[in-house]
Structure 1
Amino acid sequence: MSDTYDVVVVGAGHNGLVCAAYLGQAGYRVAVVERRDFVGGACITEEVFPGHRFSTASLVTTLFRKEIIEDLKLAKHGLRVLERDPSVTALLPDGRYLTFSSDPAKMRAEIGKFSQHDADAYFEYGAAMRRIARFAEPYVAGGSRRPLFEDIPALKATLQTAAGLDDKDLRLLVGTLFGSAREVLDEWFESEPLKVTLATDGTVGVDGGPSMPGTAYLMLYHQMGTTEDARPSWGQVKCGMGSITRALSAACEEFGVDIFTGRGVKRILLGHCPRAVACRGVELEDGTHIAARAVVSAADPSTTFEKMVDSDVVPASYRAALAGRPHVGVAGKVHLALDHLPEVRGFDGFGEHFRGTLQILPDMDHLDRAHAEARAGIPPAQPHVECSVPSILDPDLAPPGKHIMSMYLQYLPYQPAGTTWDEIRESYLDSLLAYIEPYLPGLTEAVTHRKLFTPWDIEREIGLPGGNLYHGAMSPLDLFAGRPVAGYADYHTPVAGFFLCASGTRPGGGVFGIPGRNASETVRRYFMERRNGR
């Protein structure tokens, strides 16, 4: 291990590796230290059962940026995204279904089964969402701009530009920034199956039902990934989501970055410069000191300052703001090893509907009720369920003739009232499979191994506080200039030379990579300003 680095990155999740790779590519000497014995954070592939490999936490991708893939040459290192078409089939309680396809004619026919008005409006809505996503993206994701609502002159210019949008686009922009998914979708559509399927892109991982203000923003946020006509296209990564972080790790090594796993950070080393406390490196849990001119934490911001930074060097207001950030996790996962495929109600045989996600989606009222139950500590007997079978597109994930199925569940309480997840884990899995069985006949008897991954498990095993997939809430108060703390949305912290790049920073969570890329630009500007004597 080198005595001195330009930068030490704490945490080898996807954002930490993106930040390290860009800095290494720019010629800086960089080390990444990771407490676990492998890289990846929540973006990993694991052999959960013998011969069966799963994307354990993050299941699919839509946000990971093409420019990052190109800049860091990740395809050369094995990264490949498999197209899922059809992408989603919503299975309804009355036996009908709605399938989302990239073929406009098929899509129009599918929606037309429920509403001809919606079949026409769907494409208009999709074009409008793409327009406002392009408008908002520089302010949401850009590294060089100051965040929206912090720079007043820039905000005025933004509002003047927004005033040039036509009335419907302007209403959609305001609605998606501050409204609920239900409000936005009710303005466009009349059929519940279409609305509830689109609404899930706004509620995924969020402690809120589709009627809660702020959920519309996440629909816009996910539009910043590659899109179908009116919704994000969630892609499957070849060999699982861990291929993203494996490719990033290989890029880091190509650019001379040193990666040390099994080396947890105990604290950030601090010193004094003429005007402030400054970062000097890190101390590892084994007592090793690594000196650096700058340190970037890819860990959750609250965890970073609670466990790694002495409290007396950070303004009380900053620490209080981090401590007050909501970290309620509501998403769970179930991983199943299957001896054979189940049937799908409404379909004959084992066709292309297995290529994407099979969602069990009654209606938006159902989602609101499930959210209310979870808020009360009650594991919903009928949660929102999304089932995918990655081994259809990627047979190497399972033994020959076998399959894996991953389920995304929402909403689950962090801890159930009056009991623990360990006490009810198996009985809840039994009831869950019984709920799903009418939609996927034969599933229960096809299962050879199973594992439930609750918000509590996500915190315990991966280290995300509260099991929150986004490193904190994604409500309007927790975005833009307020992420993670007002006045510090540019990846700086109150400690000179100490930066953040996790999903808890701007623009937000998901396998995005933008926080890591933007933070690397901030660190480079910091070094340039120091060279120039500023």
Structure 2
Amino acid sequence: MSTDTASRSHYDTVVVGGGHNGLVAAAYLARAGLSTLVLERLDHTGGAAVSARAFEGHPVRLSRYSYLVSVMPDALMADLDLDVTLTSRRTASYTPTLRGGAASGLLVERPEGRRTAESFAALTGGTDEYAAWQQFYGELEQMAGVLAPTFLSPLPTERELQAQVGETIWRDVVERPLGEAVERRFRDDTVRGVVGTDGLIGTFASLHDASLVQNKCFLYHLVGNGTGEWRVPVGGMGAVTDGLLKAAVTAGAEVLTGAGVSRIIPGADGVEVVWDGASGSRSVTAGQVLSGVAPWVLRILLGEGEHPDKPVGSQLKINMLLDRLPRLRSGVDPTEAFAGTLHLGEDHSQIERAYAEAAAGQVPTTMPGEVYCHSLTDPSILGDAPEGTHTLTYFGLHTPATLFETDREARKALAVERALAELDKHLAERIASCIATDAHGRPCIEAKIPQEIEADLAMPGGHIFHGDLEWPWAANRALLDTPAARWGVQTGHERVLLCGSGARRGGAVSGLGGHNAAQAVLESR
């Protein structure tokens, strides 16, 4: 990896953006013998998939932005010989509850067993709700088994896939708002919320939104590798990026950091790419350009100006470092409760009320969000930190960028306050009493709203998917007459392809955008 200038004036392919997708594309192309240049604006590769020491005086390396891996196919990792270990969390989820003044909770084991069934029965008063849960997720697993194997192939059509999937689950996930299925299949407010929340990660919508954007988000969260399991990368997300960078460079790709692309100029015979770096303005030409930046940003680089429909991200990310895990009021072992996804304020009614408040321009009174403790699954990220030290990550829903357009700092402070208050409701001790301090005596807590994600990573609107997700298939009448169209990576320019989260099967840490753009390039040669 170099921080100087390119070694040649023309490349077969130039990849704009050194995020994980850009590195995947570069690795595949370089392995196929194509001269490949990657241009990254920041002084490091990885984009959102990085690990960093966020708190001065502590050796702990946090997955600062993206934090789990699900959709990245095992076959892709094997293709690129990635030396990365993904570890299962022993708890799928724990949802603390307060009903009638009594503290309890819903435990979902991984794999589900006797204690999961008992937890459902204790919460709901019978066996029907867990039976409905098993039925629903059994149908989803069958659907995932059909979809996941297609992700590394040209786009199938909707008709081809629908014929292989059960009629009811296809209707519930693809044709009707997700909220209808949640309310029809389940009776308990907490269970409904735990199911529905997967449709709202980074997606601002009601579960009844007619656009079905929540359904698409839900689908991507449940189909990875045919199981939908979200795993922890040992060494943090930076280990994934490091592995991909090594694969790309070893194959012969050239990677420049500190190279902020300012223009992409398509022509009849090639594409010129201009960037600004430490040595000033530079440019090269390429046969094809792969764009790892968001489509909204790409239009600006192509000289088309800012599109009025800028993406709107929706998340509140809080990273914390703890001296110890807090005790819960329910009495559950903290190492079990925090090992998976701990749901807060995510009863179905709470989620929908929070959406209505945020849509009206108000910070939700009860903040829905999820908490993860990665160091319980991967203690290697702690380094030589004192015994008892743990990381804690909070991901808040229904906090769209529009909430913070005015009074930004005050609204951010209120959102953080309400997020931590929701956690405190279920703790036997306030979370503030467990937070470590940095070298300057300040609490080890870092919060980021969409505007700050945009400033850090150039994701427009702080949208973690680069824009609304799309179905991972082609419409029945789609014109799939070019390699780029067949792989779902086309733009309005023949020689410029999407290779990031904005590709049709992009979103999440999957590598699919990079893989599929590379395959389109290779097919066209």
Q: If the length of structure 1 is used for normalisation, what is the TM-score?
A: 0.85
In the alignment, the residues of structure 1 paired with residue 405 and residue 30 of structure 2 have an alpha-carbon distance, to the nearest angstrom, of: 50
Describe the shift of the 1:373–1:486 C-alpha distance in structure 2 as closer, same or farther (beyond 3 A).
farther
Q: Which moved more, 1:296-305 or 1:124-133?
A: 124-133
Q: Which runs of 5+ in 2 are unaligned?
A: 1-5, 436-442
Residue 135 of structure 1: how far off its partner (Å): 3.2
Does residue 1:56 correspond to 2:56, yes or no?
A: no
3-state SS, counterpart of residue 323 of structure 1: coil
Identity of aligned residues (%): 26
Partner of 1:409: 396
- Whether the aligned pair in 2 keeps the contact of 1:280 and 1:293 (CA below 8 Å) is no
Which amino acid is 2:215 matched to? Answer: A
Q: Which runs of 5+ in 1 are unaligned?
A: 150-154, 312-318, 529-534
Does residue 1:35 correspond to 2:41, yes or no?
A: yes
Deviation readout 1:180-234 (Å, 9 max, x if unpaired): 2221223332222222111111121111122324223333222221466xxx322
Partner of 2:490: 492
In the alignment, the residues of structure 1 paired with residue 461 and residue 479 of structure 2 have an alpha-carbon distance, to the nearest angstrom, of: 19
Q: Which moved more, 1:10-19 or 1:185-194?
A: 185-194
3-state SS, counterpart of residue 153 of structure 2: coil
Q: Which one of the candidate residues 489, 511, 514 is aligned to 1:513?
A: 511
Residue 282 of structure 1: how far off its partner (Å): 4.1
Does residue 1:216 correspond to 2:215, yes or no?
A: yes
Q: Which moved more, 1:511-520 or 1:443-452?
A: 443-452
In the alignment, the residues of structure 1 paired with residue 18 and residue 204 of structure 2 have an alpha-carbon distance, to the nearest angstrom, of: 27
- Whether the aligned pair in 2 keeps the contact of 1:334 and 1:406 (CA below 8 Å) is yes
Describe the shift of the 1:481–1:10 C-alpha distance in structure 2 as closer, same or farther (beyond 3 A).
farther
In the alignment, the residues of structure 2 paired with residue 137 and residue 60 of structure 1 have an alpha-carbon distance, to the nearest angstrom, of: 18
Q: Which moved more, 1:173-182 or 1:246-255?
A: 173-182
Describe the shift of the 1:142–1:394 C-alpha distance in structure 2 as closer, same or farther (beyond 3 A).
closer
Which amino acid is 1:410 matched to? Answer: L
Partner of 1:263: 259
Deviation readout 1:374-402 (Å, 9 max, x if unpaired): 22222223211211122222234332222
- Whether the aligned pair in 2 keeps the contact of 1:185 and 1:195 (CA below 8 Å) is yes
In the alignment, the residues of structure 1 paired with residue 54 and residue 347 of structure 2 have an alpha-carbon distance, to the nearest angstrom, of: 33
Does residue 1:380 correspond to 2:364, yes or no?
A: yes
Describe the shift of the 1:418–1:45 C-alpha distance in structure 2 as closer, same or farther (beyond 3 A).
closer
3-state SS, counterpart of residue 48 of structure 1: coil
In the alignment, the residues of structure 1 paired with residue 426 and residue 225 of structure 2 have an alpha-carbon distance, to the nearest angstrom, of: 29
RMSD over aligned Cα atoms: 2.7
1:337-348 to 2 correspondences below 5 Å: 337-348=321-332
Q: Which one of the candidate residues 107, 130, 133 is aligned to 1:122?
A: 133
3-state SS, counterpart of residue 289 of structure 2: strand
Partner of 1:82: 87
In the alignment, the residues of structure 1 paired with residue 85 and residue 330 of structure 2 have an alpha-carbon distance, to the nearest angstrom, of: 32
Does residue 1:104 correspond to 2:113, yes or no?
A: yes
Partner of 1:152: none
Which amino acid is 2:318 matched to? Answer: V
Q: Which one of the candidate residues 11, 27, 42 is aligned to 2:17?
A: 11
In the alignment, the residues of structure 2 paired with residue 283 and residue 419 of structure 1 have an alpha-carbon distance, to the nearest angstrom, of: 33
Q: Which one of the candidate residues 446, 452, 455 is aligned to 1:457?
A: 452
Does residue 1:294 correspond to 2:302, yes or no?
A: no
Partner of 1:198: 195
Structure 1 runs of 4+ with >6 Å offset = 484-488
Which amino acid is 1:132 matched to? Answer: M
- Whether the aligned pair in 2 keeps the contact of 1:60 and 1:234 (CA below 8 Å) is yes
Deviation readout 1:101-160 (Å, 9 max, x if unpaired): 113333322223224012223222222112223334466x35323x636xxxxx4x556x
Which amino acid is 1:98 matched to? Answer: L
In the alignment, the residues of structure 1 paired with residue 141 and residue 377 of structure 2 have an alpha-carbon distance, to the nearest angstrom, of: 28
Q: If the length of structure 2 is used for normalisation, what is the TM-score?
A: 0.86
3-state SS, counterpart of residue 359 of structure 1: strand
In the alignment, the residues of structure 2 paired with residue 158 and residue 432 of structure 1 have an alpha-carbon distance, to the nearest angstrom, of: 40
Equivalences, count: 491
3-state SS, counterpart of residue 288 of structure 1: strand
Does residue 1:92 correspond to 2:97, yes or no?
A: yes
- Whether the aligned pair in 2 keeps the contact of 1:33 and 1:261 (CA below 8 Å) is yes
